[in-house]
């Protein structure tokens, strides 16, 4: 018999051991929506869950037992639609499948203790610092306090902890949210390529591109292809560049499904000698604007990785800018909230490339959009 908790435990256990992005591990499980909710809730709420569980175990568990306790406690404390009895009974049933007979007893005891002490736990959480209560690394939270103010920083954290909606973007420029639990592949028009999966916040970059019919456009970091598709829908002649072979495969699958005439290349070397009316650089970033759908990214964040990303972004911008014709546009975008990756990166680029000037930019937080955060800047070449 399929046990959703067992599947969630396996995915979470793998993530705890390898830090491999959970989405990959979820692609083949049954009851995917519920399993994903349990895994993502556990990952989002890792910091308070660890603090709470630490009060009910003598020695911090590892491996399977650690994952079982996270999954069970996450259901009890953060998943209101799951009754306590189901959270305990089904998680204990998953624990009984362990090769260690004592695991189920520990899981049962700890989860029942959490239920008995729920009022005190909730009171203690309420009195905790925002970064603990909302489950964020302290250095990242302090950066947000400095940038947005304490109240807004806490609100961004709370907003980010809500499960992400799936949005569908259509040819007419509209976005609609998908009902939770519905598979994208089951929506009418999927096979015909009538829509793509994309958050409304991504429209900022496409709007700044403002492409028109028959313009030659380069999407420089194109995968998974949503922005390429939107620009092609608007009549542009799009070339999509993606150097990562696995991501390029996803890009090409989306292009095939939408039945658009978008040329793909796997290296900037294939573009030598070409100039474009507009170039879009949707740069790899720290993903701090999309933590609703990338809950694990908060635990991968640190200042060293941020600095490395800033260097990479600068190199990408330098190369991509060489493909912009005189009088053309360069749009730089990220899904980050960090100044160094956004306006800071643009200002560094402009100091090196005086032939470009900043025309406008948009900086969106999850509080502004109700969904993802995003940054986009429009640069014009003389």
Q: Are residues 43 and 181 in the same domain?
A: no
Q: Are residues 146 and 102 in the same domain?
A: no
pLDDT in tens, 204-262: 999 999 998 989 999 999 999 999 999 999 999 999 999 999 999 999 999 999 999 99
Q: Is 335 annotated as catalytic?
A: yes
Catalytic residue among 157, 221, 285, 335: 335
Q: How many CB atoms lie within 10 A of CB 306?
A: 19
For the chain (382 residues), the mean pLDDT of every run of 10, in chain order, is: 84 91 76 91 97 95 96 98 96 94 96 98 96 97 97 96 93 92 91 95 95 95 96 97 95 96 96 96 97 94 97 98 98 98 98 98 96 97 97
Q: Are residues 9 and 124 in the same domain?
A: yes
Q: Which residue has the tokens 């990242």?
A: 140
Domain holding 85: CATH number? 1.10.940.10
Q: Are residues 283 and 142 in the same domain?
A: no
Q: Are residues 156 and 279 in the same domain?
A: no
- For helices 226-233 and 245-258, angle between their N-to-C axes, nearest 10 degrees: 30
Q: Are residues 328 and 354 in the same domain?
A: yes
Domain holding 342: CATH number? 3.40.50.150
Q: Are residues 223 and 354 in the same domain?
A: yes
Instruction: Report the number of distinct structural domains present in the chain.
Output: 3
Q: Which residue has the tokens 């890792």?
A: 46
Q: Are residues 332 and 267 in the same domain?
A: yes
Q: Are residues 234 and 265 in the same domain?
A: yes
Query: Which tokens sit at 191?
Result: 């096979």
pLDDT of residue 318: 97
Q: Are residues 205 and 107 in the same domain?
A: no
Q: Are residues 197 and 318 in the same domain?
A: yes
pLDDT of residue 2: 59
Range of the domain at 284: 166-381
Q: Are residues 154 and 230 in the same domain?
A: no
pTM flag (> 0.85): yes
pLDDT of residue 1: 39
pLDDT in tens, 301-319: 999 999 999 999 999 999 9
């Amino acid at each position: 018999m399929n046990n959703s908790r067992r599947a969630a435990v396996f995915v979470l256990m793998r993530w705890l051991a390898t830090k491999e992005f959970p989405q990959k591990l979820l692609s083949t499980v049954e009851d995917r929506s519920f399993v994903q909710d349990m895994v993502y809730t556990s990952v989002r709420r890792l910091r308070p869950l660890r603090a709470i569980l630490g009060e009910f175990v003598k020695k911090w568990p590892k491996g399977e037992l650690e994952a079982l306790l996270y999954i069970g406690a996450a259901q009890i404390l953060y998943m209101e639609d799951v009754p306590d009895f189901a959270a305990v009974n089904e998680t204990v049933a998953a624990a009984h499948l362990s090769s260690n007979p004592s695991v189920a007893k520990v899981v049962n005891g700890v989860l029942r203790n959490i239920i008995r002490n729920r009022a005190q736990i909730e009171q203690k959480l309420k009195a905790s610092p925002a970064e603990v209560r909302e489950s964020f690394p302290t250095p990242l939270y302090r950066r947000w306090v400095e940038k947005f103010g304490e109240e807004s920083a806490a609100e961004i954290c709370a907003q980010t902890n809500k499960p992400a909606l799936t949005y569908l973007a259509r040819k007419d420029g509209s976005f609609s949210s998908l009902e939770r639990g519905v598979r994208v592949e089951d929506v009418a028009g999927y096979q015909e390529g009538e829509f793509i999966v994309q958050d409304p916040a991504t429209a900022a970059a496409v709007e700044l591109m403002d492409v028109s019919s028959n313009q030659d456009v380069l999407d420089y970091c194109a995968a998974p292809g949503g922005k390429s598709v939107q620009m092609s829908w608007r009549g542009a002649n799009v070339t999509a560049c993606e150097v990562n072979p696995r991501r390029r495969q996803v890009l090409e699958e989306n292009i095939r499904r939408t039945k658009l005439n978008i040329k793909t290349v796997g290296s900037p070397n294939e573009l030598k000698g070409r100039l474009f009316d507009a170039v879009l650089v949707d740069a790899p970033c720290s993903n701090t604007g999309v933590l609703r759908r990338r809950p694990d990214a908060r635990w991968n964040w640190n200042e060293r990785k941020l600095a490395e990303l800033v260097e990479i972004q600068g190199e990408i911008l330098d190369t991509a800018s060489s493909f912009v014709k005189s009088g053309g546009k360069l749009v730089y975008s990220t899904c980050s909230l960090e100044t160094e990756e956004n306006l800071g990166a643009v200002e560094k680029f402009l100091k090196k490339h005086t032939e470009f000037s900043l025309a406008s930019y948009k900086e969106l937080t999850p509080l502004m959009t109700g969904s993802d955060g995003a940054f986009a800047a429009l640069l014009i070449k003389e």
